[in-house]
Amino acid sequence: MIPAPFEYVRAGSLDEACRVLAEAEEAGEDVKVLAGGQSLLPLLRLRLAYLSALVDVGRLAELRGVEDRGDHVFVGALTTHDEVLRSEVVRELVPLLALATATVADPAVRHRGTFGGSLAHADPAGDLPAVALALDCVFVVRSDEGEREIPASDFFVDYLESALEPGEVLVGVRVPKLGPGWGFHYEKFHRTAQSWATVGVAAAVRLGEGVVEEARIALTNMGPTPVRARAVETALRGVPLGSSDGERLRQVCDLADEGASPPADLHGDPAYRRHLARVLTRRAVVTAGA
Amino acid sequence: MTEQLDAGLVAERIAESDQLSAPSGDREIGRARRRKEDARLVTGRTTWTDNIQLPGMLYVTFLRSPMAHARITRVDTSAARARPGVVAALSGRDLADEQGSLPCAWPVTEDIVIPDHPPMAVEEVRYVGEAVACVVATDRYAAADALEEIEVDYEPLEAVVDMTEALTEGSPKVHETGNRAFTWRFAQGDVGAAFRDAPIVVERDYVQQRLIPTAMEPRAVVATTDGDSFTLYSATQIPHVLRVMLAMTTGIPEHRLRVVAPDVGGGFGSKLQVTAEEVLALLLTRRIGRPVKWTESRSEGNLTVHHGRDQLQRIRLAAERDGRLRAVQVELLADMGAYLMLVTPGVPLLGAFMYNGIYKMDAYDFTCTGVFTTKMPTDAYRGAGRPEATFAIERAMDELAHELGLDPVEVRRRNWIAHEEFPYTTVCGLTYDSGNYEAATDRALDLFGYDTLREEQARRRAEGDPIQLGIGVSTFTEMCGLAPSRVLGSLSYGAGGWEHASVRVLPTGKVEVVTGTSPHGQGHETAWSQIASDALGVPFEDVSVLHGDTAISHKGMDTYGSRSLVVGGIAVLSACEKVKDRARELAAHMLEASAEDVEFADGSFRVRGTSQGRTIQEVALAAFAAHDLPDGVEPGLDAETTFDPDNFSFPHGTHLCAVEVDTETGGTTIRSYVAVDDVGAVVNPLIVEGQVHGGIAQGIGQALFEEAIYDAEGNLLTTTMADYLVPTALDLPEFVTDRTETPATSNPLGVKGVGEAGTIASTPAVVNAVVDALRPYGVRDVRMPCTPERVWRAINSGTSGASGVSEASEGSHGSGAPQSSQGSRASEGFEGGGR
């Protein structure tokens, strides 16, 4: 559990971090940004990854904090999971984020691990990517050449691969408030309290007179990236919740795994994961609509 | 999901169990003392092996085989040696002449095959993780980096991962001698007759999956020498056994070798071993002349700490129509892994006399074949043999009840040994000294609310509730307190089972107890202090307990097999009695009375019928000064005892588990768990409670969560704790525990072992509950661990959940054993049980 040698740079400012990253890119070096280290350091310690340098942004206060910005909440990339959980703004205005964050690992990890680090790591088994996808979050990133925005639908490229270019740092994420009438739930199925989701479902549902008017559903660990379950979103429109007609909801939610390509691992094969996605989507929708 | 057991009720029940243990008078024994060692252990203000820093210390890292089976054709360490900070880089070839072979102390049969087991592979590797080279460097980082510079060429050989296939003609061989290590058989009574016309036969196959012990403290070793004598510090359970074995293995004379087990953070059997790393650390310090340290990482440990269980079990019961047992027959295949380590072949034998459980029957037949595979060797893991036995009989008793349409508790009642029948000699020839299965079971049923839960279960079944309720029963006993030396000898074990203690009252009246047991988390310092305090009439605080260093405690057999209290604790008591006898003689002299007239109470010797007396502290000072000792009396107040027990210890109990199974996801949640254990008299109820809680958690781990999985090429897939799932408090319910106290008659304290009881009892209780929940779906078994995926598949196929893509396919039984007349077989055949 000893990583291979690497250079370590503690950035004093975001500009400095960007500059160091740009220089490293120019030199063809393999550099990564270090935030809470809860995902990256295990990879290094197990020697599953070899890097020439780490740029530690951990002390950059400018990347930290939660802010209500009218139609969205801006969450700084360095905000820890614990800070997200304790934020009144998050709990009141973007509760799906709080619901999902509460299921992340354990208190020790939540105190060190960061919101942005978890998203930039782009692990489809992480809980937050599905939330970002379901809510159509916007990722704000900075490099030596300036700032740009990446919609969540473009951010998750492949397994552990995001749309961040070498030299770019995730500054924060705009989390849209969906407005009145929406209910939320994150349904996570995992084998122990501290293990990753076998499958997770992030759901936002807007009801009108007991009938679904609009739904946003995204799935955790159902493919190399988080998966937006568009088919079930469309089919849910007009479906009554909480009535005696549970069969219709069941049929609709059987579309949940459409377009997913779930992995096979020790905790479930693809067929089981597809089944779980359907069951958990139904439960998530019912709870979100309750 | 539904309501949990009410927290107030839990507190009330815990309070009730406290009352049971209320001490009588001022006695220490029976008092729920907080453990005196805990402050230093939990704050880390102590010496763990990895904390030890010696001047000039070097650090060792091992290069481990990535191949399950291969011939080593070349090892080049030159590039590693050239790196900064590197003092040595060595291959197995470099050490071949001095490294010897790791010992196996339990040759269970005359014809057992014990292959040569070099601590570092020389010619061939036989499991992933086997050490092939090492780097010794001035710091851990230099060592880890240099390791990557070592080049090894392998010529791949075929992996052997499935026990059944390993025994087939034409299987690749792990060792030239073949893949069968031994076959051991034990039979009593006429089993053939019992089965021939039996009205009911139940036959089932069960898989004891491979487990990784996962002690909290990883293994660590420090070795040092002054050029003449050697000291080995190791996170071990067995400093005394280790010293003898290392002296035999390395050629370092025993009197020049000191072994120290500093504070050790758990073992569960995994540190009951003579490891390659311990031997190699000694060889390296001998070769280099400087202290060396090695500490494993968790992933390295998952690969190379000996594994536990891994057996394929076939159990057959012959019974009457009323459920009374006639006979039990057991066939086992036990995966040895690639080599036989310290007690590898003996583990199944520790279960061989236990498949009859607490039940009466006329005949018994047990056969076990040990099989070599290209996997990490197996060896003792909490319970060692007895959890496997208890699982098989308790699962099979539930199946028998189901076949007969009887309640599973009732079928047990009809078979168990009645309270008035003790002492009872079982079909296996063991004499259970005491027990009261009725009392423990009645208490458990009451605490559990058994009838109410059965009603709820019926209701949910009738309503087709997607959350089904299952109730599991486990009535267990076990043989522990290892062990009478004569019995061990009759089983070909390489040592005895006695234990040593010495007790000295210092000039100031304080007491030192030196024990040959080697605590690694159990709380011996507290419990031994309580025993000595009562025996000598000194305050609890005035007792210190010394252990874990062969230079301090010269004689001992260490800690495993729930032996410390029932063997080592009795040795402490006996040494205290000897001290008291010596003190009485001196006190009589001081009081000018005859020893017969001197009585001892509350720490003072008094002449009977007078107020004249001397405290034991006064006597100790007089014994130290030695100014006026009777003729023939030696100065000082000390004594020692080596105690060899006559019998094993037989704790028992009834565990009941209620689970809720989500039939849509396959997820299992434990709703309530009641354990009523009878461990005889209790020295410290708090320690007993801790052992029971931890044991239950570990048994639940086997039932629901844990499995070491190798792929077809022999790669371990569960090298991290993200893949090898160990439950935490978050995954477990509140346990409701209680005790009945039926004192052991085999020792003066009336105590029985408790260290393994919870683990032995809980696994079948949980799996019985899962299967019980799924009976309406036609499910008769779910292979352990009962993962959500397996449960879901079982529900959807009405079998054992074994038909999944990643599972072994169904196999047919090829050994020609008769098919069961009643019980249908679990879907997973004996042949198909591999992984």
Q: Are A163 and A240 in a shared domain?
A: no
Mark whether A169 and A258 lie in a shared domain: no
pLDDT tens digits for range B388-403: 999 999 999 999 999 9
User: CA B386 to CA B355: how far, in whole Å?
Assistant: 8
Same domain, A80 and A170: yes
Question: Residue A47: left if φ>0, alpha if ψ -120 to 50, beta else—which one?
Answer: left
Task: Name the CATH code of domain B498-643 (choices 3.30.365.10, 3.90.190.20, 3.60.21.10, 3.40.50.300).
Answer: 3.30.365.10
Both A120 and A227 in one domain: the answer is no
User: Domain span at residue A85?
Assistant: 61-176
- Assigned domain for A188 exists: yes
Q: Is the pLDDT of residue B730 over 60?
A: yes
The candidate with the shortest Cα–Cα distance to B165, out of B608, B816, B814, is B814
Tell me how far CA of residue B488 lies from CA of A125, B244, B491, in angstroms: 51, 18, 5
User: Quick one: pLDDT at residue A242?
Assistant: 75
The rounded percent of chain B whose pLDDT value lies above 70 is 92
Whole-angstrom Cα Rg for chain A: 19
B668 touches chain A (CB under 8 A): no
pLDDT for res B25: 61
What integer pLDDT is reported at residue B403 of this predicted model? 96
Claim to verify: residue A142 and residue A194 sit in the same structural domain: no
A15 and A73, same domain (yes or no): no
What order of strands is seen across the sheet that includes strand A7-10? A7-10, A53-56, A31-34
Q: Are residues A96 and A125 in the same domain?
A: yes
Place of tokens 């003092």: B87
The reply to whether A2 falls in a domain is no
Residue spans per domain, chain B: 49-157+219-295, 498-643
From A138, A156, A176, give the residue that closes a domain: A176
Contacts of A191 in chain B (CB under 8 A): 705, 725, 787-788
Per residue in B134-161, pLDDT (tens digit) is: 999 999 999 999 999 999 999 999 999 9
* In-domain check, residue A270: yes
- B contact residues 104-163, partner A, Cβ 8 Å cutoff: 140-141, 144-145, 148
Mean pLDDT of B540-554: 98
One domain, residues A87 and A45: no
Q: Where are the alpha helices (DSSP H) in chain A?
A: 14-26, 40-45, 81-86, 88-93, 95-101, 107-112, 115-121, 128-134, 152-155, 230-236, 246-253, 270-289
> Using CB atoms, which residue from B664, B705, B804 is nearest to A269?
B804
pLDDT of residue B29: 97
Query: Do A267 and A241 share a domain, yes or no?
Result: yes
Q: What are phi and psi of B156, to 5 degrees?
A: -60, 140
Looking at A141, A176, A211, which one is the last position of a domain?
Answer: A176
- Please write the tens of the pLDDT for every residue from A155-175: 999 999 999 999 999 999 999
User: For A187-220, how does the pLDDT look when each residue is reduced to its tens digit (9 = 90+)?
Assistant: 999 999 999 999 999 999 999 998 999 999 999 9
**Count of domains forming chain A:** 3
My answer on whether A108 and A147 are in the same domain is: yes
As a whole number, the mean pLDDT across chain B is 93
Mutate to test the interface with B, among A266, A279, A282 (most CBs of B within 10 A): A266
Tell me the C-alpha distance between B739 and B2, whole Å: 28
B327-358: pLDDT as tens digits: 999 999 999 999 999 999 999 999 999 999 99
The answer to whether B32 touches B686, Cβ cutoff 8 Å, is yes
Are residues A78 and A21 part of one domain?
A: no
* Per-residue confidence (pLDDT) for residue B736, from 0 to 100: 98
Rg (CA), chain B: 28
Level-2 CATH architecture, domain B49-157+219-295:
Alpha-Beta Complex (3.90)
Chain B residues touching A47 at Cβ < 8 A:
148
For residue A25, what is the domain's CATH number? 3.30.43.10
Report the gap between the CA of B232 and the closest CA in chain A (Å). Answer: 24
Domains B49-157+219-295 and B498-643 share a fold: no
Overall average pLDDT of the B292-318 stretch: 97
DSSP assignment of A183-243, as one string? EEEEEEE-SSTTSPPSEEEEEEEEEETTEEEEEEEEEESSSSS-EE-HHHHHHHTT-BSSS
Query: Tokens 């690969």, residue?
Result: B303
Count CB atoms within 10 A of the CB of residue A254: 19
- Any CB–CB contact under 8 A between A275 and chain B? yes
pLDDT band at B542 (very low <50, low <70, confident <90, very high): very high
Q: Binning pLDDT at 50, 70 and 90, where does residue B815 land?
A: very low
CATH number for the domain harbouring residue A83: 3.30.465.10
What pLDDT shows up at residue A246?
A: 85
Residue A141, in any domain of the structure: yes
Q: What angle do CA B606, B611, B617 make, to 5 degrees?
A: 45
Q: Give the domain-ending residue among A116, A143, A176.
A: A176
- The SS3 call for residue A161 is strand
Decide if A267 and B718 are in contact by the 8 Å CB cutoff: no
| DSSP H or E segment with residue B387 | helix B386-404
Overall average pLDDT of the A233-262 stretch: 91
Assign residue A197 the CATH number of its domain: 3.30.390.50
Residue B799: which pLDDT band, with cuts at 50, 70 and 90? low
